[in-house]
Each structure stands twice: as C-alpha cells, then as structure tokens.
Structure 1
Amino acid sequence: MLLGLDLGTGSVKALLMEEGGTVAGVGSAACTVCSPLPGRAESDPEEWWRAAGAACREALRGRGDEVVALGLSGQMHGVVLTGGDGAPLRPAILWADARSAGVLEAYRRLPQNLRRTLANPPAAGMAGPTLLWLREYEPAAYAAARWALQPKDWLRMRLTGEALSEPSDASATLLYDLAADRWSREVVRELGLREELLPPLLPSDAVCGELLPGAARHLGLPEGLPVVCGGADTACAMLGTGLLAEGEVQLTVGTGAQVVSPRRGFVPDPSLRTHLYRAVLPGRRYAMAAVQNAGLALEWVREVLGVSWETLYAEAAAVPPGSCGVVFLPYVSGERTPHLDPAARGAWAGLGLGCGRGHLLRAALEGVAFAVREALEALEGAGIRAPEELRLAGGGSLGEDWRRLLAGVLGRPLLILPDSVASVASARGAALLAGLALGRYRGPEELPVPRPEGVVEPGGEAGRYEEAYRRFRELYPRLRGL
C-alpha cells in the first residue's frame, strides 16, 4: 500500500492506495484559515499536525503496517518560519495573504536578466515577497529563523526531522531559477534576503527520510517508514490525474482554481499574466493560470448568507443564467490571473427590488466560473491552444449543477474524472511519487492512469452567458481602486 498526504488550505487529506491505483481508504480533517487583519491569511501549523494525524488514521483504519512509503503534497507559496528544531516562530502566512503587496517594488527593480529566470510575475502571497515583508515588519522573527519552509516541507520536517524542499514547490516562491532549475542565489542576494533560510533541494520522487517514532504513533504508521519528498499540490494533482502530455489542459477547482497545461521547455508567458512552474517529474514544467478565489469565495458567500451547500445550489438553480443582471466579482482576497491585483475586492452589482437570495447565489457561482474563463483565455493568450475538451478535477468540482454551469460558461465539454480521483488528486499524486521512489513503478509510463468516466456538455445554456460575461469583464476595471 502507498499513502499520500495532502496539506490543503482548508483541510488535510490522506489517501491509502493499492499500487494498481485502487483506493483503499480516504481520510480528511479540517484546518482553519485566520484573517487577523484585512488582507491577511494565516494558519497554525500545529493545527495542520493534528489534522494530519486525524486524516491518516481515518484513511488507514488500522492498516498502517501495510504501507510501504508515504508521499507528501501541499498548498503552494506559503511561509512557515521555524527555529532549527522546526518549531514555528509565528503562524504560517498563506498564499491568499496580501500583506506583501507593498514590497513587490523590490522585484520590479531586479535586473531584467534575473527577472526572466524567475519566469513568473511578482505576486503577493508568494514566499519571496512574504520574506521581504517579514524582514521589514517582523525583524525579530526573521532574524531568529533558521528555516523558511513551504507548508508541506514543514510537515515533512515534523515527520522526519529533516529540513528539505523540492523543485515543484520551490519554483513557486519567486526565489527559483526556472531556467537553471535551482534556487536563484543571485535573486536572493539582490533582494538582500538570507540565503541560509532556504532548505536543500531533492527530487520530488526521492526518499528523503524515515518516519520518527513520535510521528509514527501520531499517524498510525510504522516507525522508520520511508518518507518521499513529494510536491506542490497542483503539480501532484497533475500526476494523480495522469495529466502528462503537452497540449492537454486541466481545470482544478478547490479553495482556488487552476488551469494548467504541461510544458516541456522553458517557455515563460511574455505578458507575465500566467505562471510557469516545475512539475514533479524530472525536467518537466507546466503553465498555470491561477484563480485565487474559487471555493474560497463561495464558502465566504455561503457563510455570509447563512446557507448550506445544498441550499446554495438549489436556490441558484431556480434563477436563470445571467442571474437577471446581477454580477458578482469573487475577489475577496485579491486576485492573480489575469489582474495580478492584491487590492482587488469583491462586489455584487446590478441589484434591484426583484432580486432575492437566489440571485446573489447564482451570481456568485457564475462569477467564479467567469473568473475561471478569464484565466483560461489568459493561458491561451500565452500561446497554449486548449483542446476542445477540458479535464476537470478537484474537490470543488463534484456538484452536478456546478459542473453544468462551468461547462456552459466555458463553452466546452468537461471530461469528468471519477470522484475517487478528482476529490483527492493531489494526495493520489503524492502516493504515486512514493511508488516511483521505491521502484514500484519504473517510470511514468507504468503509473495507473485514471480514465474519465463521463462528459458534461455545455448544453443550450452556453450562449446565454455571453452578455453576463461581458458585464463581468467590464465591472472590475470600473471598480478598481474604490
């Protein structure tokens, strides 16, 4: 058995998988995202640790002695400042955090040759800008830190005692040379950051340590179990769903949403509206358009309006496409693709006396879908020709009504992966990396690839979204700066 552990934004998921790809157990435990001040997003790493134990025990159900290796996946961009023993010095700062927007000018002042090697636009919430903010505004914590770790790398240190990272997560820090495939010491020095904060890098499919006795008891696994480096959640999800061929495009919907496509070479987006990161397999990269507010915005709407998910979908379905003119901007935590605006804010517009809660809910779903469509169009603008059919994955992609709405807004058929894959794609990729590390698979061609089990067609509603999409696109530039 292989075990994949995925440290997400809102939960930790564990997947127990047979080497042939059959799911043997799934576990999940919630995590809290705190916003102590507007524009901030933090989590307590100790809560991640508790959730990891609960998720693993639920997935294993006493079968821990059958596991031969553990692989890791995790949310991207965040920073966990730790001492030499791995103990956090402050709460983790997450990808949705916008506090570093004021220090991005340091990146714009970098020499052009260095900026090109980063291959990505400066964005708040990424590790490099977050470290600049910590150096300026929390100098004591910054000076006391021994390591600046990505979330899943902190979890691995708790499991093995080793401080390490790997290329797929490191490439999304704005401190990584995508052309040379290594930490960019030149950028780190130019920014005046401490080089020693960055951990050593190993391949994503390398065994990087053994499970410590206390960690083994916490997770319900045998002491000394091999732990594999793992990868960033998006990169692991691509492996877990079998998205390996250049030219394929996959939409993953979770707390955020990502439109991704494998790339073989170093091909940055000249407009810098989209991203280029390392994949978990050696020498491979992928392009990504990142929507920061997908499930994050819908969960906010659900809580503010006081409805369950069932009520949200039911009331939204009773409203026609276009929400009778109501438009929702989902930017409750700023936005990345295509705006790269950490100060972007959410809004409902077009309200009238005839509007009810259902119109607000329908507009919220459509607003997130419109943001995904903008991201897809930005990816195509970077030179990636999306195929007629898109693959759909992610824990936020399981509702039938939501799938039909997405297909209608995107105007494309969506290939639906089995729920047992789509909801735990990142954990599945982490488990497959564990199998590669132990030689259970001799290469990617031997990995068990899930097959789509159905297609959601755009249907007759697709054309009814065009006018609503036009209004959506016009609203952000009109409200920007307010």
Structure 2
Amino acid sequence: MRFLGIDLGTASLKLAIVDEDGHERAFASVAYAVTTPFPGWAETPVESWWNALRDAAARLPAREREQVNAIGFSGQMHGVVVTDENNHALRPAMLWPDTRALDLLDAWPAPQPNPVAPGMAGPLLRWLAVNEPAVMNKTRWALQPKDWLRTALGGEVCTDPSDACATALAAPSGVWDDALIAEIGLRREWFAPLAPSYAAAGTLNAEGAKLLGLRAGIALAVGAGDTACAALGSGLFADGDALLTTGSGGQIVVVSADAPASVAGLHAYRAATDQWYRMAAMQNVGVALEAVRGWLGYTDWPSAYEDAFSAPASTHLTFLPYVSGERSPWMNPAARGGWLGLGLGDTRATMMRAAFEGVAFALRAGLDAIRLNSGPSAVVRTLRLAGGGSIDSRWRQLLADALDADLQAVDCPNAATRGAAMLGGIALGSWHAADLAVLAPSATLVASPGDDEDLALRHTRFIDLYQRNASWF
C-alpha cells in the first residue's frame, strides 16, 4: 500500500510516495516561476501548478503509482485563488510574498490573535474587492492554494484549520470570523467549510487520475498548510518539539499541547493533527540568499558557498536580509535590506558571507521571540532541521552557532510532502494518531553551537543596525 503526498510550494511542486511504514519510495519535483507584473505583486497562474503536477507525476515510477491508495495535500500558506462555481480560477493566484495590500491593513488594528501580513488571504481579498470588483462579482470560492488543487482533482470544497487560521479572517482555531469578514466587505459564502486536515474529502476524478497516472476513485485527504505538514512529516508530536525549515522563507515551529497565548510578532496556529504550534515566520531566507547570489554574479550555489565560507568573516560588514519586508518578529512589511559597513577591502566573498550571517541572525531574531514569550517547553536548545536550503555543512554550522541550538537533520529530505502523504494514510484509516511516534523519522545531529564570541558581537551589531534603520524604511 502506498500514499501520495503533494506539496504545492511557492516555487515548485513536489510529490512523494510513502509506504505503509512511512518510508519514502519515490520523489519528484518541478519548478515554476512566481511572476511580478508590478512592483510588490507575487502571482502564479494555476495552470503552472497543474502542468507541474502532470510533469512531476510522470517522473514517478509507474510500479509505485499503481499502489497508491490515498492522496494528501500540503500547500504554501496565506495566498488565495478566487474561482467561479466550476472551480475555474478567475485570475492568477495571489501569493504570500505579495505586498500590494500593505495600505489596507487598517481593518486589522493591533492587537490581533495572530500578526497580519499583506500577503494573507484577508488583505489580498480586500484589495481585490477594491481594485477588481468585476472579478469578485464572479467569485464563488476564495480558496487556499492546496484546497484549489484538491478540488480540481475531484475533492470536496473545504479547508482545514491550519490554513484557515492563517488567512487573517479566522480565529486561531480556524473558525471563520463572520463579523470581520462582513466588516471588511467580503462575502461569507466565499469561504470553504472547515474539516480536519486528516479527514477524507472526496475521491480522485477521472481527469486527475489520467493526469497523475493513478486509479480514479482513490481517497483524497483535506490536507494542511506546508508548515503543519512539515512538522508532522518531521516527527514533531510532543510538547516542546521544535523544527526549523528553510526554503524561500524560514519557519521555526514549536509544538504545543494547548493554544499558545497571543504574542505580537509570533503566530499560534492549529497543527495538522489536533495540537497547536507556535511559529516565528521569517520572510527572507532563500529569497534573500538567491537575490544576493544573482547580484554578486555567482552562477551556481557551490561556488557561492565555497567563496563565502572560505572568506574570513568581516568585523565591520553587516547584511540586513529584508529584501521583501519582514514578518517575525518585526512585522515590518516596509523593511528593506542591504549591506552596511561596506569598505574598499571587501570582496564579493565577504559580501556573500555577510549575507549568510544576516539570514542566520534574522532567524535568531524569530527564535529569540519564541524563547522570550513562551513557557518552559519552548526553551528550544534543539531544532529538527528540514528544507532544501540547509544542506551545506558549513551553513548548518553557522546556523547552529547563530541560533545557539543543536541541529538535528531529519532523515527525510521532503518533510512537508511526507506529512501530506501521512494525512492521506490517516484519512484512509491506515494510520491513527497513536501511530505518529512510531512513524517519526530518525534525526542525525549535524551541528552544535560553539562559543564564538566574535559571531555574538556581529549578531548584536545586526540587531542594533536593524533597529537604528527601521525608521528609514
């Protein structure tokens, strides 16, 4: 018996087939572009997702696909797809890095149960209501990305608490806030009914079966947001378990048995199972490093890593990585990045090294907010590590030093995709909550923090420079 996990990410779609023991048997990935037709916009046509799903499925072995009995879904959080009654997208999907709704956040005055960012579904839909009323007049559903994909494959129209609570239109539990939805001029009927992430939500239709090379009629699980799926796939199930994911953005997740208290700059969301998690969400990890790599003219990542980590760390050069604003802990969408302290003696190697350090310090700012504002279970001296942007051993060591925490690489390279597949297995009844601890992947210690006083001084300078320059943004 096999289970297929589909992870609909910001820049790529990933598929993994997992067996009944929770082991990955096959994996495929296809990338696509995020388009920016105007400054601050971030969109992807849903056709790009559909084509990527087709192409990725074709790369999976037919003998593995033949044994798939259920599908689970993971998806990039916060964005929105508006569709008509036939599930046809009325415009390109709007994504979490989008900042066009920055001036429309007044409907969410502080304090909020969760921090509100312009790329969340609530502000984006408010922007559409003001700027594209013709589209909204045709709208039947406002769906999160993974929910659109599941529905296109034959699934029921629904969403789960982990995605709903990240729209800025629902309580942390995921229950829609009817009063807020009405207050900002949106229609309650646009929003899908809630169901548990692990619930069955329809079956694969004939078109989806042909596209994926699977049997029609197999079960579809509701699915969850990618962070919740990554936590599940990485084996987080006990109170205080923590995970660092690095991709386009970065997330630090700490599992909690009870609902965490509201804290400015931090998120408290429902997990894919019936737990909660506290999260610091940093917007600039891979996004910032990829931009720097291009600006400095590195044609590939190996050369960028080699240059950066062969160069001595600069005592005077600091990089603020906030090229697309920032969420945790600053909640400052107007924040901007750049090098400070640049001198004639600096090279692109020292600039690349400073970029890695700046991203590590930005992650540390989010982790420190969790440590400061959570209970004893969130001391966080060990982090499980997931995400394609954290493979190089030198980068891992820098992260461990900057975060002052042990890093344990999860022996599962595609945690969110695996978590999605597990939701499919639970929906089918093949697994239950009591099985999660047994199914947890092993993890290997890959880096421990050293006593680097110079790095600590550079971290202090980083925080000071951000705070000094925040008023300029």
TM-score (norm 1): 0.94
The residue aligned with 1:379 is 370
The residue aligned with 2:47 is 46
- Counterpart residue type for residue 5 of structure 1: I
- Counterpart residue type for residue 79 of structure 2: G
Cα distance between partner residues in 2 of 1:216 and 1:302: 40
The residue aligned with 2:334 is 343
Structural mapping, 1:145-164, within 5 Å: 145-160=139-154, 162-164=156-158
Structural mapping, 1:323-472, within 5 Å: 323-384=314-375, 385-418=378-411, 421=412, 423-446=413-436, 447-460=438-451, 462-472=452-462
Equivalent position SS for 1:53: helix
Structure 1 residues 119-170: Cα deviation after superposition (integer angstroms, max 9, x where no partner): 2022211111111111111111122211111111111111115322111111
Cα distance between partner residues in 2 of 1:408 and 1:60: 41
Q: Is residue 222 from structure 1 mapped to residue 215 from structure 2 by the alignment?
A: yes
Structure 1 residues 340-362: Cα deviation after superposition (integer angstroms, max 9, x where no partner): 11111111111111111101110
**Contact 1:274 / 1:382 at 8 angstroms: preserved in 2?**
no
The residue aligned with 1:479 is 469
CA 215–107 in structure 1, closer or farther in 2 if over 3 Å, else same: same
- Counterpart residue type for residue 278 of structure 1: R
Equivalent position SS for 1:85: coil
- Counterpart residue type for residue 208 of structure 1: A
Structural mapping, 1:40-189, within 5 Å: 40-108=41-109, 115=112, 119-160=113-154, 162-178=156-172, 181-189=174-182
**Contact 2:371 / 2:380 at 8 angstroms: preserved in 1?**
no
Structure 1 residue 387, shift from structure 2 partner: 3.0
Cα distance between partner residues in 1 of 2:162 and 2:90: 25
**Contact 2:260 / 2:276 at 8 angstroms: preserved in 1?**
no
User: Paired residue for 2:257, among 264, 267, 282?
Assistant: 264
**Contact 2:155 / 2:220 at 8 angstroms: preserved in 1?**
no
Cα distance between partner residues in 1 of 2:42 and 2:192: 24
Structural mapping, 1:179-218, within 5 Å: 181-218=174-211
Structure 1 residue 60, shift from structure 2 partner: 3.6
The residue aligned with 1:297 is 288
User: Paired residue for 1:310, among 298, 302, 305?
Assistant: 302
Structure 1 residue 104, shift from structure 2 partner: 0.5
Cα distance between partner residues in 1 of 2:256 and 2:182: 29
CA 12–298 in structure 1, closer or farther in 2 if over 3 Å, else same: same
**Contact 2:381 / 2:404 at 8 angstroms: preserved in 1?**
no
Structure 1 residue 445, shift from structure 2 partner: 3.2
- Counterpart residue type for residue 174 of structure 1: A
Equivalent position SS for 1:88: coil
Structure 1 residues 449-475: Cα deviation after superposition (integer angstroms, max 9, x where no partner): 111123312235x32211211221122
Cα distance between partner residues in 1 of 2:287 and 2:86: 33
When structure 1 is superposed on structure 2, of 408-417 and 333-342 the one drifting more is 408-417
Cα distance between partner residues in 2 of 1:269 and 1:378: 12
Cα distance between partner residues in 1 of 2:62 and 2:335: 44
Cα distance between partner residues in 1 of 2:380 and 2:307: 33
Structure 1 residue 238, shift from structure 2 partner: 0.5
Structure 1 residue 303, shift from structure 2 partner: 2.1
When structure 1 is superposed on structure 2, of 241-250 and 70-79 the one drifting more is 241-250
- Counterpart residue type for residue 238 of structure 1: A
Cα distance between partner residues in 1 of 2:104 and 2:61: 44
TM-score (norm 2): 0.95
Cα distance between partner residues in 2 of 1:426 and 1:386: 24
**Aligned pairs, how many?**
467
The residue aligned with 1:23 is 24
The residue aligned with 1:235 is 228
Structure 1 residues 209-229: Cα deviation after superposition (integer angstroms, max 9, x where no partner): 111111111111111121111
**Contact 2:45 / 2:92 at 8 angstroms: preserved in 1?**
yes
Question: % of aligned pairs identical?
Answer: 44
Cα distance between partner residues in 2 of 1:136 and 1:338: 30
- Counterpart residue type for residue 399 of structure 1: D
Q: Is residue 319 from structure 1 mapped to residue 311 from structure 2 by the alignment?
A: yes
Cα distance between partner residues in 1 of 2:453 and 2:403: 10
Structure 1 unpaired stretches of 5+: none
The residue aligned with 1:274 is 266
When structure 1 is superposed on structure 2, of 25-34 and 55-64 the one drifting more is 55-64
**Contact 2:266 / 2:281 at 8 angstroms: preserved in 1?**
yes
Cα distance between partner residues in 2 of 1:27 and 1:311: 26
Cα distance between partner residues in 2 of 1:391 and 1:108: 35
CA 449–88 in structure 1, closer or farther in 2 if over 3 Å, else same: same
Structure 1 residues 399-434: Cα deviation after superposition (integer angstroms, max 9, x where no partner): 21110110111122211222xx1x310000011111
**Contact 1:62 / 1:220 at 8 angstroms: preserved in 2?**
no
- Counterpart residue type for residue 310 of structure 1: P
**Contact 1:324 / 1:359 at 8 angstroms: preserved in 2?**
no
When structure 1 is superposed on structure 2, of 465-474 and 6-15 the one drifting more is 465-474
Structure 2 unpaired stretches of 5+: none
Cα distance between partner residues in 1 of 2:56 and 2:403: 34
Structure 1 residue 62, shift from structure 2 partner: 4.5
- Counterpart residue type for residue 311 of structure 2: V
Cα distance between partner residues in 2 of 1:444 and 1:348: 49
**Contact 1:251 / 1:392 at 8 angstroms: preserved in 2?**
yes
The residue aligned with 1:255 is 248
**Contact 1:165 / 1:202 at 8 angstroms: preserved in 2?**
yes
CA 161–392 in structure 1, closer or farther in 2 if over 3 Å, else same: closer
